[in-house]
Amino acid sequence: MILDCEHASDGVAVITMNRPEARNALSAQLREALCETLTGLAADATVRAVVLTGAAGHFCAGGDIRTMGETDPRALRERMDAMVRAASLVGAFPKPLVAAVAGHAAGAGVGLACLCDVVVAEESSTFTLSFLRIGLGPDWGVTHTVARRAGAAVIQRLLLTREGVKGPDALRLGIVDVLTSPGGALAAALDQAHNLAAGPPQGIAAVKRFTGDADALRDALQREAALQLERFMSPEHAEGIAAFRDKRTPDFGRA
């Protein structure tokens, strides 16, 4: 199973992305499984809050680079449309959603975490807006969510430098809400989820609709998708993918 969902009797469900061989990178199959699972949980009255985490010590490595390199415009448009649908669904989830981050959250993995209401992370975790490492622009809503959390100047710097941000610095910047010791993210996320699950469900859904700024997220996702379509077709992205497959540093000067 590329995604596991455990229903607890106390109203908290735990979704585990389960592609440990790829650090839980978002393949099309994993993305669709996540959408299907969240849709089912949204309709399940016995579920009051959800924790999202990754298997084998990592949260999510972002988009699956091994599936990239496509140059057909129609296929790329379908890929971007699927991203927009999935990110919109996560952002509009009506119940409390808590991310439990261990290990790496990179690229779209940062976007996925920051679409959640609460981000719990371990001190040893690393958040990296790594899109430019393979010649791509940002997606999964990071230009909206990370900017809301940390500010426009911070997200620009993190995108341009491609530097990883460790848990304590991510907490200081506002990307992380709760910091734990190594190995403690899931337990702390469950504590957060149980606390949130005790609140009034309809009131919580109303507050999320009111504060979520769905229009701004939708606009950001559409702008990201348009930029990403250009970047997927660029020589720089082709060089980034070739370098990844050859296990070398990309030479964007020759792209």
| Cβ atoms of residues 100 and 189 within 8 Å | yes
Is 228 contained in some domain?
no
Position 71 in a domain: yes
Give the count of domains, the chain.
1
Tell me whether residue 155 is in a domain.
yes
Note whether residue 32 is domain-resident: yes
Whether 239 maps to a domain, the answer reads no
- Domain limits for position 137: 3-183
Asked if residue 245 is part of any domain, the answer here is no
In a domain, 250, yes or no: no
Pairing of strands 126-128, 164-166: antiparallel
Spatial CA neighbour of 132 closest among 113, 160, 170: 160
According to the model, what pLDDT value does residue 110 have? 98
Our CA dihedral for 227, 230, 236, 237, rounded to 10 degrees, sits at: 80
For residue 58, what is the domain's CATH number? Answer: 3.90.226.10
Cα distances (angstroms) measured from residue 114 to each of 35, 73, 125, 197, 220: 16, 29, 14, 20, 14
Q: What pLDDT shows up at residue 9?
A: 74
Q: Which pLDDT score, from 0 to 100, does residue 8 have?
A: 76
Q: Is residue 221 part of a domain?
A: no
pLDDT for 253 equals 87
pLDDT of amino acid 103: 98
pLDDT in tens, the chain (255 residues): 999 999 877 999 999 999 999 999 999 999 999 999 999 999 999 999 999 999 999 999 999 999 998 889 999 999 999 999 999 999 999 999 999 999 999 999 999 999 999 999 999 999 999 999 999 999 999 999 999 999 999 999 999 999 999 999 999 999 999 999 999 999 999 999 999 999 999 999 999 999 999 999 999 999 999 999 999 999 999 999 999 999 999 999 876
| 203 phi, psi to nearest 5 deg | -65, -40
